[in-house]
Structure 1
Amino acid sequence: MTHSERHRPEIVVGLVATPPDYPARVAARLTAELADRLAERVDADVRWTVREGWGEVAPRRDGGVEALLDDVAERRTGDRWDVAICLTDLPLHTEGGPLVAQTSGRRRVAMVSLPALGLQQLRAARAAVPELVSRLLTDASDQRVPPADWAPAEMASRVAAIHQVVGKAGELGYVASPLIGRVRLLAGMVRANRPGRALLGLSKLLVGAFGATAFALTTDTVWQMGDALGGLRLTVIMALGLTALVAWLIVAHGLWEKPDRETPPELARLFNLGTILTLTLATAVSYLVLFAGTVLVAALLIDTSVLEQTLQRPVDVTDYLTLAWITSSLATVGGAIGSGLEDEETVRAAAYGYHPEPGGWRDERDG
């Protein structure tokens, strides 16, 4: 550290991720570059120090944003940070719509709800966090930085359709529009829930479904059934198979979130929507993989002349696609029952409100 750096005022910014799962990954990326962004966006004459920490594995749900801000404020005081920013995957709501962020000048803390940022969460957080830090320091009349004529122009450019809401004690919230904000929130919840993890968790199911399709392809009754059914019926069978699979996964593995003393009804509904959308996306991708594999197997196993003899007409590539379509749909229903063989922990990770104890994350206070 040079002589000039030692004489620059230091401001310590704490970045807390709760739960320490997906939010911690965003926080780790942001921590590496936050000091430079603060120097560029807030004040270059300050020595910015960024501390990274993990919050609760299961953050309190019943108190909403106020409980979250209280917990972060207690952490800020205990660790002697000047300000603290919390990144969370909790979907938070106000009367006006989804809550994107909120600052509390008296606590010197702020919160960012990652799902409310939509799909581009890291990019939006890069824009939001420096401005939230600037807001907190301005509200606290911190003499180490010049007061900023602060406006959420950058945040609004990254997260469209948000507006300010001034709450009690001068707290400032950023609320998304009811329609666009809710769609963005649900998309962000799926993003934060990491559907790729759910897809990998269904590997046993996919292998079992491949086995079922291989068996079905050897049955000429299935060939005739696929030929007799029209596109509408095949679409209905496919939709029923995917719906049955998602429903079975939720019921068999206890993924449905019920409202209780700690989980308000609106939050439980959002958790369930996030779980359904995540599983739907994962099963849809699994179905496409199964369909592509079935087309390949059908082309290798079933000779054109044999298929023509069974169907009593000339066949082309569309007949193989139709055959793969019906066998994949029927195998998906069988896969739903076979999903009970999946690893419980892996499947439960698809539930939005479920956060397993992260073995790889350690709070700096524990290390």
Structure 2
Amino acid sequence: MEKLTVGIICAPELPTKITKEILEELKKRFAQSVSNQIEWELDYKVDQLTGAAEQAHEIFDTAEKLKRQNNWNYVICLTDLPKHSVKHETVLADLDFDKRIGQISLPAFGFPPMKNRVKKSIIQVMQELYQANTLPPTTSNFNENKIKRQFPFSSIKKTHDIETESNVDARYLVIPAINGKLRVLAGMTFANRPWLLLTSFKPIIAVAFGTGAYSIIFTTLWQLSVNYSIFRLAALMLVSCISMIIWMIISHDLWEKPTKKGKKRIRILYNTATIFTLLIGVLVFYLILLVFFSIAIMVFVPPEMFKSVTELEGNVTLFSFLRLSWLGTSVAILAGAIGAGSANPEIVRNIAYGYRQYQRYKELQVENEKNTKEKTAE
């Protein structure tokens, strides 16, 4: 039985995590879906450039080099960077049949769950690459319905008309364009892993919780909570969350600035993804404080005392206490925004695409210099 090796080159972090989780299952699925006459071997390698290069040809060149070095028969690259065509369409995958290399962009998958859809798309790409080298050129090997099922509310278009990139023989595009852009933004936000922000919020939580707990014992806040309208309470929440987001961006230098090399469209996409990532982190943080304050108020604030101080008409209800905790949380978030600069800078900066790319390029440069020195020493 013929033996073929497939190498998966993945960018650090999310692509690497997904690759490790699906690697063993892919081996079985290749035998079922690609060819059961082949003994499939799978290998993977984490590569910095795959998560830093914005051009398809850069990744393909690196993939071809690693393919030769590791004696792989096929290569599939997983990147967490968004890919676009010259017409600004969202690129899901690029394929080079001659070199037997495929590339998949994870942000095109949108929000999780993602692992199963990525696995099925890798199988589809592998089918394309294998059949392109074993079947006649006229044989259709694009299972459109199968790959469409991985993208509800969107469609997938396959095109061979790629004039600007000579090494790309086929390309999958997410259409319509607006759906593709929304998916990419959602996928980039997920790739930023906003939940990691909570681990850096410890000093902010201390400041915010202390301020909020201190403020809710004052009867002035009780009176304000009763007199403020729902609209005013919602506006205060919005202002407090935006303040924390802005301060985190400024204090940790998260905003992607114009450069000679960087494209304006990509820069806007990176900054938008950063804002959405911070928004999710701050909203979760807000919800956690809201729950804590709601419990504390219901335990420690006597309803009779609350009614007499605020001159509330009618009985004190659960909603009355929720209004107080809502206001107290907004005050606490405003105070926490001041302490946002003390959050773990490495974790916070790592949610920004531009910063991660910069770090990956630096690590790649160090690695290249090390290899150069070793060759010179020999």
Q: One fold, TM greater than 0.5? A: yes
Please give the alpha-carbon distance, in whole angstroms, between the structure 2 residues aligned to 1:142 and 1:353: 41
Q: 1:176 corresponds to which residue?
A: 174
Q: 1:326 corresponds to which residue?
A: 327
SS in 2 for 1:81: coil
Q: 1:239 corresponds to which residue?
A: 238
Q: CA deviation at 1:107?
A: 2.7
Alpha carbons 2:80, 2:107 under 8 Å: kept: yes
SS in 2 for 1:354: helix
**CA shift digits 1:52-94 (9 cap, x unpaired):** 11111674445x2222222212221222211100001001111
1:336 corresponds to which letter in structure 2?
A: A
- Are 1:212 and 2:205 matched, yes or no? no
Please give the alpha-carbon distance, in whole angstroms, between the structure 1 residues aligned to 2:155 and 2:258: 30
Alpha carbons 1:202, 1:347 under 8 Å: kept: no
Q: 1:82 corresponds to which residue?
A: 73
Alpha carbons 2:9, 2:50 under 8 Å: kept: no
Alpha carbons 2:10, 2:50 under 8 Å: kept: no
Please give the alpha-carbon distance, in whole angstroms, between the structure 1 residues aligned to 2:274 and 2:258: 15
Range that drifts further, 129-138 or 327-336: 129-138
What TM-score, normalized by structure 1, do the two folds share? 0.89
Alpha carbons 2:204, 2:343 under 8 Å: kept: yes
**CA shift digits 1:253-298 (9 cap, x unpaired):** 0111123244322222111111111110111011011111111111
Q: CA deviation at 1:327?
A: 1.0
Alpha carbons 1:60, 1:68 under 8 Å: kept: no
Q: 1:92 corresponds to which residue?
A: 83
- The aligned runs of 1:221-236 (5 Å cut-off) are 221-236=220-235
RMSD: 2.3
Unaligned runs of 5+ in 1: 1-7, 358-362
Q: CA deviation at 1:323?
A: 0.7
- Residue from 16, 27, 40 that aligns with 1:35: 27
Q: 1:73 corresponds to which residue?
A: 64
Q: 1:360 corresponds to which residue?
A: none
SS in 1 for 2:149: helix
Q: 2:374 corresponds to which residue?
A: none
2:341 corresponds to which letter in structure 1?
A: G
Alpha carbons 1:61, 1:262 under 8 Å: kept: no
Q: 2:123 corresponds to which residue?
A: 130
What TM-score, normalized by structure 2, do the two folds share? 0.86
Unaligned runs of 5+ in 2: 361-366, 372-378
Q: Percent same amino acid among aligned pairs?
A: 25
Q: 1:161 corresponds to which residue?
A: 155
2:159 corresponds to which letter in structure 1?
A: V
- The aligned runs of 1:192-341 (5 Å cut-off) are 192-313=191-312, 314=314, 315-341=316-342
SS in 1 for 2:67: helix
Please give the alpha-carbon distance, in whole angstroms, between the structure 2 residues aligned to 1:21 and 1:42: 28
Q: CA deviation at 1:185?
A: 1.5
Q: CA deviation at 1:148?
A: 6.1
Q: CA deviation at 1:205?
A: 1.4
Alpha carbons 2:241, 2:282 under 8 Å: kept: yes
Q: CA deviation at 1:334?
A: 0.9
Q: CA deviation at 1:114?
A: 0.7
Please give the alpha-carbon distance, in whole angstroms, between the structure 1 residues aligned to 2:125 and 2:311: 71
1:171 corresponds to which letter in structure 2?
A: D
Q: CA deviation at 1:146?
A: 12
Give the number of equivalent residue pairs: 348
Alpha carbons 1:76, 1:83 under 8 Å: kept: yes
1:193 corresponds to which letter in structure 2?
A: N
Instruction: Return closer, same or farther for 1:254/1:96 CA change in 2, 3 Å cut-off.
Output: closer
